[in-house]
Amino acid sequence: MTMWMVRAERKGILFDDFIDRGLVAIGWGEAGDFTSNPDPASILEAVQETYPDKSEGTNRIGASQIARFLTEPQIGDGVITYSPDRRVYAVGRFTGPAQFDATAITRGDLYWPYIRTVDWTGELSRDDLSQKARYSLNALLTLFKLRPFIETEITALLAGVPLPVSPQTPTDDTSADTDDDSSPEDIELQSLELIKDMIARLSPEMMEHFVAGLLRAMGYQTRVSPIGPDRGQDILATPDALGLEDPRIVVEVKHRKGAIGAPALRSFLGGRHPSDKGLYVSTGGFTKDAQYEADRASIPLRLMTLNDLVEHLVTHYEKLDLETRDMIPLKRIYWPLK
């Protein structure tokens, strides 16, 4: 079976739209509707005329993506899309041909008009895939065909068959489709995903100490609760070492694959004092009900996803103590602006 990846835009901002509406979509719609005449040369000419400020390489890639989306995926082919926030891949099958609908998915002045309908049938965690598969799925293109070994892994995981444990080191032949006109922003997003893979490998106990270390880098004093019943808090963060000064931030850390729901948030909020501030860290993300619960909480409450955690890590990395850096060792890389 042929299987495709269609990215839900940068940072997965269209993931919920894809799932809720039963489709996938790509952009470049300003160049026109080519569903009836997907000629690559005509598409490239139109793209170059529409986006003269973009580089030749970027326009070439965009035109190629349009042509491929219109002509190559077949009804019945498998398709996946990814939520970086929840670290899950949704899995389904194409159920219809390519269409052009400028109103299908919009964000302000932006729109993604090229669509294909999808029957979403399953979901799996990125952490369940092999290192080789995760590395290959880091390709930057919006649309690309999955390698056969990734299709095999996905099919097995959806059937409940665990993958054999075998350490694998990515090599040149594990990377999927790439392009030679990647922007610094694209490279940054790829590196952030690899950092998430590192954080995902931390144990729950190490995760609590990692979050505490990050809070210290942000200027707080921290106390981590000992292993055992924590009475609704894993970390206490305050400006002073004694934990007496405001703001008094009570932190709960959940390091697991599933999204946190509203009941867990209500339980956390139930033991708080009126003057407390709350921080709930979940590497598995939060449900919509949980986000609604946080918005109407009786105390200030911040939800922190894995995406948020990585962004704060990169921002404050130079201020981390050595113990915390050793958990997630990173190296600064300089990229030319021009």
- The verdict on 48 and 143 lying in the same domain is yes
Give me the number of domains the chain comprises.
2
- The verdict on 241 and 98 lying in the same domain is no
- The verdict on 101 and 208 lying in the same domain is no
- The verdict on 151 and 221 lying in the same domain is no
What pLDDT sits at residue 273?
Answer: 86
Q: CB atoms < 10 A from the CB of 270, how many?
A: 9
pLDDT at 299 over 80: yes
What is the per-residue pLDDT across 109-121, written as a single tens digit (0 to 9) for each?
899 999 999 999 9
Nearest-CA neighbor of 224 among 212, 232, 215, 214?
212
What pLDDT sits at residue 255?
Answer: 92
Q: Confirm whether 232 is domain-assigned.
A: yes
Percent of the chain, pLDDT > 90? 69
pLDDT at 249 over 70: yes
Q: Confirm whether 170 is domain-assigned.
A: yes
Token duo for residue 190: 């790829």
Q: pLDDT band at 171, cuts 50/70/90?
A: very low
- The verdict on 126 and 225 lying in the same domain is no
Q: How far apart are CA 178 and CA 136, in angstroms?
A: 10
User: CA 170 → CA 138, 163, 316, 317, distances in Å?
Assistant: 12, 17, 29, 26
- The verdict on 159 and 229 lying in the same domain is no
What pLDDT sits at residue 184?
Answer: 63
**CATH number, domain with residue 220:** 3.40.1350.10
Residues of the domain holding 98: 3-181
What pLDDT sits at residue 182?
Answer: 56
- The verdict on 58 and 166 lying in the same domain is yes
Which pTM value belongs to this model? 0.77
**In this structure, are strands 143-145 and 114-125 parallel, antiparallel, or unpaired?**
unpaired
Q: Confirm whether 103 is domain-assigned.
A: yes
pLDDT at 168 over 50: no
What is the per-residue pLDDT across 61-105, written as a single tens digit (0 to 9) for each?
999 999 999 999 999 999 999 998 888 999 999 999 999 999 999
What pLDDT sits at residue 245?
Answer: 79
Q: pLDDT band at 231, cuts 50/70/90?
A: low
Token duo for residue 328: 């997630």
Q: pLDDT band at 169, cuts 50/70/90?
A: very low
| Residues whose CB falls within 8 Å of the CB of residue 26, separated by 6 or more in sequence, listed in order | 6, 65, 66, 69, 112, 114, 142, 143
- The verdict on 222 and 296 lying in the same domain is yes
What pLDDT sits at residue 228?
Answer: 64
- The verdict on 171 and 239 lying in the same domain is no
Q: Mean pLDDT for the chain?
A: 89
| Residues whose CB falls within 8 Å of the CB of residue 25, separated by 6 or more in sequence, listed in order | 6, 14, 17, 18, 104, 105, 112, 113, 114, 115, 116
Tell me the mean pLDDT in the region 286-309.
93
